[in-house]
Structures are given as structure tokens and as C-alpha cells.
Structure 1
């Protein structure tokens, strides 16, 4: 679904309240503060491709505050990938901050209070990604929250070029065509941030980080093995099962939960992709589910609908 919002035709006194409503409906609840009391302008184009959102906004200087009262602990959380076009933006959360200049991009999380602002007229792209979907590919997105990533070269440029190609064509594609492209885009994003030398050389990248990377790689390479379990992963990576569980302590998913999440995210992508020519049973087995009934129960528990319902238009 494509929507366009703009303040041009509104009386000046009504523009800021209107912009608050637009931002809340496009992203989530926030408080907004405006530098320019007179003459504020804003326009926003939004494409919703469930479960993703792509938006492009231009506005006068604005500060966006995500406060604790805005956050529903039982609601759906998202990450935002922000790509400024004209001026730098500033993101701060939990006493840490990052500035992002045109030619770069940053990652933000929505489930904790933050401030986001730009002090001059600006334009920026924003990609909204469900928390669970990004974590299925990038197990610890928090490692990359306060880094500015270069979009002009290397994998960052590949990610941005693919993103722009999608935005140029999204108006001509239906959701079933666009959704798998956006999943590929998340794969490119993960490769870009994982390959950043600062992440590789950070203080978190000691022996523990090495083991984490080996574990993640092994799980992804063997995700279609229905017998994949923590004991097998630990043995293949040369660590104890106890240490493997310790690597996942404090994270959203345990080892087994993360394996299941990767499988379910892969399965739902295949089910919703048009023209796969596969039965639901084939897809279940492809992603490591040896029991069809267990697959259906897990799928409905995770997504709220059955695999058959997900295959229907609008599922």
C-alpha cells in the first residue's frame, strides 16, 4: 500500500499536529518538537509491504522522542535503518549516540526510549524491519546500533544500490513480489554490518565473539537438518553444550528458540512467495520440520495464522 502525506495545503497552525499524526501512523508513537514554529513543512511517502515498511520523508528541522510511555512491552518491536540524504541526523539512546551523515546509514531500535533529530531541513529514507525478523538473521543487532556505516563502497554500497532499485520499482510490484526482495535486502544489510572492521575489531570480538560467529554460521549452514540441536552445534564448534547456552544468555532467543525462529522465518518467506511450486509439506521439510503437525502448531503460535492461511492472498 502506497500513501503520500504533505502539509502544503494545510493552514500553518495545523501542520505540526498533522505531522505528529503522520509520524505516529507510519512508524509508532513519539513526541515531536519543532525548531521552526512558523512555516513548518513536511511530506512523507510510505510503502507498507507487510511485515516491512519503506518511507521517504522531507521536513523542516524536527526532534523525535520515543518515550517510555510510548512503548508497549507486549507489542511488536521494530528496528529502523535510516539513510539521510541532505543533512546529518543524530540518534541517542541509553547515554550513547551516533551522528549519521549523508552517504551513510545507521540502525536504531524502537523498544527503548530514544531521541532522533536533524537541525536543518532534511530528507531521509527509513526501512522499518520487525525485531524478530532482523534477529533471525543478525542475532545481536545491538552490537551495531551506534555505528555509522558507509554506503558509498563495499557491501554498504551493494546494500544501498539494491535498496534504491527496490524503491524505484516498488510502485510497480505487488506485495508478494516485493516481500522476498526486502528479505534479500536484510541479508545484504546483515552482511554489510557484519563485515564492518569496527565490529570485527571491537572489544566484544574476543574469544567469545569468535565462538558466537562460528555457532551462528554452523546453524545457518545446517538449518535444514531436522536433527539439528544444541548438542550437535556445540560438538561441531568445539565447545561444551553448557558454554553454548552461556553464549545465548541474556538474549531474546535461546539456542533452540533461535533455530526455530530461523526455520519459521524461512518457511513463511517461502509460503508467501508466489510461484514457488512447493507444497506446504515440502516447505516444512526444507526448513527442518520433520513433523507436519508440529510445523503447523509452531507456525500458528508464531504468526497467529496457519501455513495454509498464510498462503492465501493477504495472508
Structure 2
């Protein structure tokens, strides 16, 4: 059995290098944490920034501060790394601007926004700013295709709870371990999903179908016989309606089922006793093929199922 991936906590501060080296240092670490993208510095020779990174088993949370900068992810960048994940951007000081699908969102303190890495995106700061960036697996949050960044109000209600959890998780980065960090991220993602569902006061038919399908999948993902056709039949809609509703939020029935099963397997791998095998967990999570499970798990989380097991 391979050794579990260690829980990583790190810090980068451009003040530790010469001013002429600060932009290169920042671009290197941003690319390492966020994948392929381009950095445009307002003043490369005097740029200053710092980030604190927490990472474990495909989950990542970054507390950052930096001078003015713009990050751009093009279609060529998307083809180069194939990252299909989501990013949650939360401003705590200053302003962050996001642009995707020809729509622009101004993220001020007290707000957050979600974008996908499957389509070109620009995000940056006209002035110095501070905030959080959280990596979220593809399909874990409902996003309306073509509608641009999805804004979330974090000033009150459930949004304030999410904001508090993220801040506290960052504050406790040195005292939590890997499985605890991942479990906290799971909870935050679940709450963010609820925040996004509550954004529309009058849900459309497609939004209603999307919510019902996601709830059904969460309840029955362990069933290996769960298929898109079975979902449609159980809920009383046509398969086409189900496909359209999920397409509207950037996923498909099969991707949704696979994602839910992978999330469950991920949690079980972290929490199950060592005498429970990876195969047993895969089959208990709805997978029929161990090889297919291993490939899908590595594609989603960037590590193998064995790497997630406790030491």
C-alpha cells in the first residue's frame, strides 16, 4: 500500500527575494497551485504578494494578498492542462474582478464568486487586494452555462456561515491534519451548493429539475444500477429534460453520478479502517469496475485511491 499524500501547508512571500525576482516567483507558484494561466503584472519590478496554501488529496485553499495583477486563462491554456475544476474567489479586502462568458462580476468584501476552468476567464485586481481562492471539483456546484461568474452573498445567513468556516479553516491550518482539512472542505462545498441554489427567488422549470436530479443522485449514488434513464424514470421527467437541466448548469447526468460516487469513495477512503480494501470501498460507492474507479479518481483528485488512505 502506498503512503498517503501528506497534508501540505506552505507560505510564499515575494519579500524573501530580490525585487526583480518577485514577479517570476509569484507566477511560478500561482501556476503550481492554479494550473496553466498567464499573469499580467501592473509593475513587475516592484510587485509584492504573499500566499498561505493548504492542500490535501485534491483539496486546496489559499489565503492571498498581492499588488495589482490580472490572471488570464485562454482556450490554449485549457487545452494544455485539461483542468475542469471550479474556483471560488472570495474578497476580504479590496476588489477582485472576474470576467467569463462576456459577463463581468465585481467581487467586493462580503461576496464570493464561482467560475469554471473549462472556459476562458480573466480575474484580477486593479489595486492591492486580499482574499481566498478555493479549488472545487468539477460538477460539485451548479453553474449556469454561459451566464458568467456566479455571485454569492456572504454577508448574512448561510453565506456568513460559509465565510466564517473558510476563515477559521485558514486560521487553523497548522493544527488540523489532512483528513480533517478535507472533511471541512466537503462541508464548505455542500453549503456553497445550497447558497447557489437560493440565489433565484423564483426557480425556473430547468432549475427545479436540476435540484431534484441532484438530490436524487445524492440519495442513490451507491446503487450501481443508478443511470440517467433510471433517474428520469424515477422523477417522472424525460431523459431529455434531465439532460437539458444539467447542461444548463455545466454537467451531464453521467458526470453527476460519477462525481457523487467519487466524493463518497474519497470520504470513505479517508475514514474507513485500514482492513477495508480499496475494492470494497469502490464497489460500496456504486462502481462496478475497479480499474474504471481508479482512473476516474485520479482524474478528479489528482491522486490515486491508495494515496488517500490514512497511513
Shift of 1:157: 1.0
Question: Which range moved further: 246-255 or 166-175?
Answer: 246-255
Distance in 2 between residues matched to 1:120 and 1:249, nearest whole Å: 36
Unaligned 5+ runs, structure 1 = none
Q: Distance in 2 between matches of 1:17 and 1:106?
A: 27
| CA distance 1:17–1:237, shift in 2 (3 Å) | same
Q: How big is the shift at 1:25?
A: 1.7
Question: Where do 1:162-311 residues align within 5 Å?
Answer: 162-196=165-199, 199-201=200-202, 205-248=203-246, 254-273=252-271, 283-284=281-282, 286-289=284-287, 294-304=288-298, 309-310=306-307
**Which one scores higher on RCO, CA 8 angstroms, separation ≥ 6?**
2
Please state if 1:110 is matched with 2:108: no
Q: 1:159 aligns with which of 144, 162, 173?
A: 162
Q: Which residue of the partner structure matches residue 83 of structure 2?
A: 76
**How far apart, CA to CA, are the structure 1 residues paired with 2:144 and 2:264?**
19
| Whole-angstrom distance in 1 between the partners of 2:289 and 2:80 | 27
State the shift of 1:72 in Å: 2.8
> Following the alignment from structure 1 to structure 2, what is the Cα–Cα distance between the partners of residues 59 and 257?
36
The 3 A distance-change label for structure 1 pair 97 and 226 is same
1:125-164 deviations in Å (ceiling 9; x for gaps): 1112232xxx1x3354647752332112111111111222
Q: Is the 8 A contact 1:271 1:310 kept in 2?
A: no
Greater gyration radius: 1
Q: Does 1:62 align with 2:69?
A: yes
Question: Helix, strand or coil: the match of 1:171?
Answer: coil
- Secondary structure of residue in 1 paired with 2:155: coil
Shift of 1:284: 4.5
Question: Given that residues 82 and 105 in structure 1 are in contact (C-alpha distance below 8 angstroms), is that contact kept between their aligned partners in structure 2?
Answer: yes
Q: 1:125 to 1:249 in 2, by over 3 A?
A: closer
Deviation at 1:189, TM superposition (A): 1.1
Q: Which residue of 1 aligns with 2:19?
A: 12
Quote how far apart the aligned CAs of 1:51 are: 0.2
* TM-score, normalised by the number of residues in structure 1: 0.82
Deviation track 1:247-290 (CA, whole Å, cap 9, x = no partner) reads: 4558875434432331232112211236598665664564345x
Shift, 1:94, TM fit: 2.8
Q: CA deviation at 1:238?
A: 2.0
Structure 1 Cα separation of the partners of residues 177 and 267 of structure 2: 15
- Assess if the C-alpha contact under 8 Å between 2:92 and 2:130 holds in 1: yes
Provide the C-alpha distance between the structure 2 equivalents of 1:261 and 1:147, rounded to a whole number of angstroms.
Answer: 21
Residue number in structure 1 paired with 2:4: none
CA drift at 1:63: 1.5
**Structure 2 match to 1:32:** 39
SS of residue in 1 equivalent to 2:93: coil
